Amino acid sequence: MSFIYPLPTTGTISFSDYLLDEDLLYLNEISEATAQRGRVRAVLKEANKTEGPKDYTKVMKTVDDYLPYLFGIVDCLEGGQLKLKKELETSWRCTLSDSVLKKKRVVCRGIYYELIFTLMTYGYACSNWASSVIEKQLQKNEIDDKLKQAADILRRASGVFSYISEKVCPRWIKPLSSRPPDVLPEISASASKIALADASSIAIRKALMQQTSSSLLAKLAIGVAGNYEMANGLIKSLKDSTKVCGDFRKYVSNGVLFHQSLGKKFLAKDAYDHQQNGKAVGFITESREILHLLTKCKSPMIAAHAAQEYLEVNELYNSFVGINDTVTFQVVPSKADLQALIPGGRMVMELAKYTPPPPAFGPGVNRTSKSESGYILEGQYY
């Protein structure tokens, strides 16, 4: 279960209209930056017009080609090698904002608006591609490798979102109150938490294919729920969180509940394995209640996952309750007592730190040799 980020679109610009190169050192590079940005615009338009599966790897590759030029412009503006003829303005259609902002592209000034949205787009495509990998019908001998690949991509997406929040957003001096939600540091930070949670959720799926104890599985699920809780807290910390896309907010809050239900299911199984039938009944009852609530969710994806999980939990509920009512007769702990028994969560995944590509031009760049840096996902597209 992963959120599918809608891909943004952007308007056309020519960097030569905004950038002044007094020493005439970077005219070709500025022109190439405009061309690379045009390719990003075209691939995003194509993706949004495509019905059915989208080619997220093409989006990732195209953005990857543009980023060295964009970082080159940033470095030159900061170092004084380039100056502004007028304030740089770019427009992006916000996809994590409320429906009003979604209807039109939002114009903002400054190179950091462009950099944040470009990197966010890159993170969206990484996350969506990882989701598409694990949703495919895989052969048995493919499952382990594909799950590992998807988890690695999500870890990298988490690193990209974290880089935006920690390294780019603070450099943009535009007041937070005048920014659309998509480019607020809280949103990129929450996206980082979500990507890492989804990577860890894949680890649970892999663990279920092996001989893993219910106790450990419970801690993993609780750890995922904890990351979703932190993401939810970041969104709620905004002055007006209702401006954030409702589907995104619901996905995060439901992600907390879903993984809490998984954790309680595993705690119930662990208690049953240790002949603690009263605790088993208590935890499986709470898990069942949460999943029943989620089956009525308006999101078809979340409702479907909850309904599938509910079938197993309901069977366990009937079994545990039946045994306790006819054989063991143990007292079922109260909700407060059960809450006190829930262990701390455990995360088995860490974000993969994002390192920006070397700039294609600018101070300190050797113009006679082509950059030999690789793509962040080199060798993993297919």
Which pLDDT does position 209 carry in this prediction?
Answer: 86
- 263 and 370 part of one domain: no
Which pLDDT does position 138 carry in this prediction?
Answer: 61
- 356 and 307 part of one domain: no
Tell me how far apart the alpha carbons of residues 350 and 341 are, in angstroms, rounded to a whole number. 26
Tell me how far apart the alpha carbons of residues 160 and 124 are, in angstroms, rounded to a whole number. 10
- 15 and 119 part of one domain: yes
Closest Cα partner for 37 from 5, 56, 9?
A: 9
283: domain CATH number is 1.25.40.280
CA distances from 16 to 20, 23, 90, 172, 305 (A): 7, 14, 13, 22, 50
Tell me how far apart the alpha carbons of residues 7 and 128 are, in angstroms, rounded to a whole number. 10
- 196 and 244 part of one domain: no
Tell me how far apart the alpha carbons of residues 6 and 246 are, in angstroms, rounded to a whole number. 13
Are the CB atoms for 36 and 69 separated by under 8 Å?
Answer: yes
Whose structure tokens read 């995003």?
Answer: 44
pTM: 0.92
- 201 and 135 part of one domain: yes
Query: Which stretches within the chain are classed as H helix?
Result: 27-49, 56-79, 99-102, 111-135, 143-163, 185-208, 214-236, 246-273, 277-294, 300-323, 335-341
Does the pLDDT value for residue 370 go beyond 60?
no
Does the pLDDT value for residue 373 go beyond 50?
no
Find how far residue 376's CA is from the centre of its chain.
16
Parent domain of 230: 211-349
For residue 12 the two structure tokens come to 């056309």
- 343 and 358 part of one domain: no
Are the CB atoms for 125 and 60 separated by under 8 Å?
Answer: yes
- 110 and 164 part of one domain: yes
Which pLDDT does position 142 carry in this prediction?
Answer: 73
Q: What is the pLDDT of residues 275-307, one digit of tens each?
A: 999 999 999 999 999 999 999 998 888 899 999
- 56 and 127 part of one domain: yes
Q: What is the pLDDT of residues 252-278, one digit of tens each?
A: 999 999 999 999 999 999 999 999 999
Does the pLDDT value for residue 374 go beyond 50?
no
- 67 and 197 part of one domain: yes
Task: Name the band, by pLDDT with cuts 50, 70 and 90, for residue 378.
Answer: low
Does the pLDDT value for residue 369 go beyond 90?
no
- 193 and 237 part of one domain: no
- Average pLDDT score over residue span 235-260: 94
Q: Mean pLDDT over all residues of the chain?
A: 91
* 135 Cβ contact partners less than 8 Å away, ≥ 6 residues apart: none
- 306 and 228 part of one domain: yes
For residue 344 the two structure tokens come to 């701390």
Q: How many domains does the chain have?
A: 2
Q: What is the pLDDT of residues 334-360, one digit of tens each?
A: 999 999 999 999 988 899 999 999 999
Instruction: Please state which of the ranges 22-31, 112-121, 229-238, 364-373 shows the lowest mean pLDDT.
Output: 364-373
Closest Cα partner for 92 from 109, 106, 102?
A: 106
- 356 and 340 part of one domain: no
Sequence letter at residue 172: W
Q: What is the pLDDT of residues 135-158, one digit of tens each?
A: 775 666 678 888 899 999 999 999
Tell me how far apart the alpha carbons of residues 340 and 243 are, in angstroms, rounded to a whole number. 36
